[in-house]
Amino acid sequence: MPEKQLMKIIIWDADAQRIARIDRNLRIAMQQLGMRGLVSSMSEPPLIGRMGLIGKTPVLEIGGFYWSLKAGSAISVEECLSLLRKLSGGG
């Protein structure tokens, strides 16, 4: 069986507590889907500003694309599952 590609996800946000919740939710979703990946965060306000993400965070960067659901709200396990399924071609 071929090895699945390791997914790399960056959480862009300046709120440390929200980053921790999203990190946990992403890991739960990946585990439920049998996915492997690296989750990291970028929380430097100047870099968030240069990327044009002020007022849009939290934002997930996956494969060079940026995904945002609700500005100012943590991304739930269910929302992570939905996004990861779509990205993996499973829904």
Residues 6+ apart with CB under 8 A from 2: none
Q: Model's pTM, two decimal places? A: 0.90
Q: Give the CA radius of gyration of the chain.
A: 13
Nearest to 13 by CA among 64, 77, 52, 59: 59
Per residue in 39-81, pLDDT (tens digit) is 999 999 999 999 999 999 999 999 899 999 999 999 999 999 9
